[in-house]
Chain A
Amino acid sequence: MTDGVSPWAEVLYAIIGLGLVVYAVTGGADLGAGLLSLFAHGPRKADQERAVRRAIAPIWEANHVWLIFVIVLLFSGFPQAFAALGVALHVPIALALVGIVFRGAAYVFHAYGIQTAEARAGWARVFGWASVLTPLALGAVVAGISSGDVRVSAAGVTTGFLAGWTTPFALAVGLFALALFALLAAVYLTAETSGALSDDFRRLAVVFELVAGACALATFLLAGRYAPALFENLRSSAWTWPIQGATAAAAAGTLGCLAARAVRLARLTAALQVTLVMFGWGLALRGHFILPDVSLATAASHPEVLPALVIAVVAGSLVLVPALAYLFWIFKREDDASYTGDHSDRS
């Protein structure tokens, strides 16, 4: 990337990017499931809501940790970037946190309380709306990073607290994130249920795939005006069109798989689609944390720290990856896709 940047910094940058991608395809899907719970309707409304809760119950806390993982690596490895983000994007980050707190709290309050049906329905609504707030706020953070409006000098952030994230572009990115997360959730739930319930989620998946496509286009067009540097990087790079093409192919593949009821394959293509979107964004940042002032070259921590962090991540992964694989194997196996609605469950 940039001359004079330690390869350890680049590896850590890639690990942070990978962490964000995994957060999006796991934790993001949990957020999307919250949105879907607001869309529950018709004769199977209660079953749809239960399917959402049943799908995320054992895994959402683990999925959520990816975000913490990313933040910790960011402040350990690139403290200047973390400090600048905390100042310039204080407001959307705080809003995302409000969403995270209400969502997690409302989820357990709903799941474990001995309480009236009305109270539980209230928590379900809080859970749903908080699941909407967080992707919108995270999208605003992404837009702020990419806008080029946030400027940072040696003395710190110079452009105040509203730059970069209060634009139509920021809203478009937020809606795009929301649509992708809802798509993931709908596809995963299609695969984890069967019968009419599965068809409900399959229809939602198609709708959100189309919405995501529209949001992608809007985001791209608005980027020309509100995130010119990012747009220029996207437009001028040799890798842009292959990645955009592959993203479109993955999206078409998801629609095709859903039409053909190849739901397990659809899970992969939908996750691939989100991964490619984020990959394209990450490449367009060209080694920056905040365009154009905070980059790998300016934000990297002490040379003693970076290799140790990378080694710690690798060593930790040796424990973590098998444990995570086991968790998903227990709760997301093939023979588990038979959920048609739980009639033993009192509600």
Chain B
Amino acid sequence: MSSLLAARLQMAVSLGFHILFAVAGMAMPLLMLLAEWRYVRTDRAEYRALAERWAKGTAILFAVGAVSGTVLSFELGLLWPRFMLHAGPLIGMPFSLEGFAFFLEAIALGVYLYGRERVPRAVHFASGAVVALSGVASGVFVVAVNAWMNTPRGFRLLANGDFTDIDLARAFFTPAFATQATHMVCAAYSSIAFAVLGIHAFRLRSRPSSDLHAAAIRVVLPLAIVTAPLQAFTGDAAGKQLAVYQPVKLAAAEALFETARPAPLVVGGLPDMDARRVRFGIEIPGGLSLAAFGDLHAEVRGLEAFPRDDWPAVPLVHLAFQAMVGCGTALLGVALWGGWLLLRKKPLHAQKRFLLACMLAGPLGLVAVEAGWIVTEVGRQPWIIQGVLRTRDAVTPMPNLVVSFVASAVLYAFLGAVVSLLLARYVLGDDTPLETHA
């Protein structure tokens, strides 16, 4: 295995692991707070139990996210020293701000988790709000870095590869920033809302009389219903942004080989790289022109308009994109069904089929998050900084990287298994009292 491949796989494993905890760190505090708010308003015990249970889940997910995030901040230098040499000054500002937001989140979480008996109720609630807000701010700052890698701005490139004329504001507010940040924040809320909904739907199906699970669904379903359609809009905006600024990525995501006017939208299918066409896909005439430019007759550039050296791994990007959109569409369907049931004021515990759908949809948001991350990261290859620095030129000279890749893969697989097991015990452990040994 080449150093480059080992380093990329290690980064993929680290990010793929961390992103699940990152979205949980962004969205779980809001759920915890919504349950707490209902408890303050209604004084009903199940909401307090729910808030505490979700807080425990948040604590586990936050801690694992904190350590996996620490690993990532070092890995930037351990794996990509030449990237950091050039990019460090430009992405340092959003990372520094992220550091402060994360710091604030850790402090507020300490107050929220351990201070219930030590601080006034309003301060306790406010600390939860600070956790929720700074969690989202952290996410937005990190996405600012990724947006810069996709649409780098705020510097002038010298012939020797060095950067000059640094403009930190332009490096922060890059063309991709607004669309990527909204798409990511919405993805965090939506994926976690559906994951939590799925878990409690699963439990409510077997225990229809449970106040706790019915309360959980009352809190989380509205968030799922609101964010699923919203995510379709932010995704559309992200796609239109790609069409202008990263046409290769869009062409790979759609597996559009030849430039076309109008360009069809291909649903599903397998890209055949030799024949340079998609097999088994369903074509919607003019669909891509409409999605990319809002015009049924617009020209969309295909992969062949760009040098072969600049193509990413088309089959992977295309499949990931299909998976993301497919999951998003399924979640939208569940959200509409749920909205209709809420409007008709149906008691949800009796809606067995809807609960089954929620349960099956539970993992799809997280699958979509992973798939979307693959689209944006693999879709940018072979560049680590789009059009500026190739990934192969950024990798460390360190030998035997395959060792650290395998070690980190084993480590994360182990941690992932333990976290799943612990959370599963909370989910299944209705009748055992919850215990905390702090």
Contact = CB atoms under 8 A, between A and B. Distances in A.
Interface of A: 50, 53-54, 57-59, 61-62, 64-65, 67-69, 71-73, 75-77, 79-80, 82-87, 90, 93-94, 97-98, 100-101, 103-105, 107-115, 120, 156-157, 161, 301-302, 304-305, 308-309, 312-313, 316, 319-320, 323-324, 326-327, 330-331, 345-347
B84 A86 contact: yes
17 contacts: A54-B438, A61-B62, A64-B106, A68-B69, A68-B73, A75-B92, A77-B92, A79-B89, A82-B77, A83-B88, A84-B81, A100-B71, A101-B71, A101-B411, A108-B63, A316-B100, A320-B104
Given A61-B106, A111-B436, A87 B398 contact: yes
A62 B113 CA distance: 13
Nearest to A98: B411
B78 A61 contact: no
A294 B417 CA distance: 42
B84 A308 contact: no
B85 A308 contact: no
A301 B114 contact: no
Contacts of B81: 82-84, 86-87, 156
Interface stretch (B206-214, B357-365, B418-426): B418-426
A68 B407 CA distance: 22
B398 A90 contact: yes
B418 A109 contact: yes
B437 A120 contact: yes
A330 B115 contact: yes
Given A76-B88, A101-B411, A319-B100, A59 B67 contact: no
Contact of B95 (A72, A93, A302): A72
B297 interface: no
B398 A305 contact: no
A301 to B, nearest CB: 4
Contact of A312 (B96, B104, B106, B407): B96
Given A86-B396, A87-B81, A302-B164, A72 B111 contact: no
B242 to A, nearest CB: 28
Contacts of A301: 88-89, 92
Interface band, chain B: 35 or more
Interface in B61-85: 62-64, 66-71, 73-74, 76-79, 81-82, 84-85
Contacts of A313: 96
B397 A156 contact: yes
Interface of B: 56, 59-60, 62-64, 66-71, 73-74, 76-79, 81-82, 84-93, 95-100, 102-104, 106-111, 113-115, 118-119, 163-168, 396-399, 404, 407, 411, 415, 418, 422, 425-426, 429, 432, 434-438
A72 B115 contact: no
Among B69, B103, B115, B166, residue most surrounded by chain A Cβ atoms (within 10 Å): B103
A83 B77 contact: yes
B434 A75 contact: no
B70 A97 contact: yes
Contacts of A346: 435, 437
Among B56, B62, B88, residue most surrounded by chain A Cβ atoms (within 10 Å): B88
A105 B426 CA distance: 17
Given A64-B66, A105-B64, A105-B415, A75 B106 contact: no
Contacts of B118: 330-331
Nearest to A315: B100
A98 B111 CA distance: 28
A309 B411 contact: no
Contact of A114 (B79, B103, B426): B426
Contacts of A85: 77
Interface residue SS majority, chain A:
helix
B70 A302 contact: no
Given A83-B84, A305-B92, A320-B107, 9 more contacts: A57-B438, A61-B106, A82-B81, A85-B77, A101-B415, A113-B422, A302-B166, A319-B104, A331-B114
B289 to A, nearest CB: 42
Contacts of A87: 81, 396-398
Contacts of B415: 101, 105
A113 B73 contact: no
A86 B92 contact: no
Contacts of B63: 61, 104-105, 107-108
Contacts of A73: 92, 96
Among B64, B86, B106, residue most surrounded by chain A Cβ atoms (within 10 Å): B106
Contacts of A84: 81
A127 B284 CA distance: 56
A53 B437 contact: yes
The 6 A-B pairs at the shortest CB distance, nearest first, are namely A76-B92, A86-B77, A79-B88, A83-B81, A104-B67, A316-B100
A59 B113 CA distance: 11
A77 B99 CA distance: 14
Contacts of A112: 56, 59-60, 422, 436
B434 A114 contact: yes
B114 A104 contact: no
A287 to B, nearest CB: 19
A313 B107 CA distance: 17
Contacts of A104: 63-64, 66-67
A85 to B, nearest CB: 7
B93 A309 contact: yes
B422 A90 contact: no
Contacts of B425: 113-115
Nearest to B114: A58
B422 A109 contact: yes
Given A58-B113, A114-B429, A304-B166, A93 B103 contact: no
Contacts of B114: 57-58, 331
Nearest to A61: B106
Nearest to A124: B437
Given A108-B60, A120-B437, A76 B102 contact: no
A114 B74 CA distance: 32
Nearest to B118: A330
A156 B398 CA distance: 12
Contacts of B102: 65, 68
A79 B84 contact: yes
A110 B70 CA distance: 20
Nearest to A346: B435
Given A112-B436, A161-B398, A75 B76 contact: yes
A125 B47 CA distance: 36
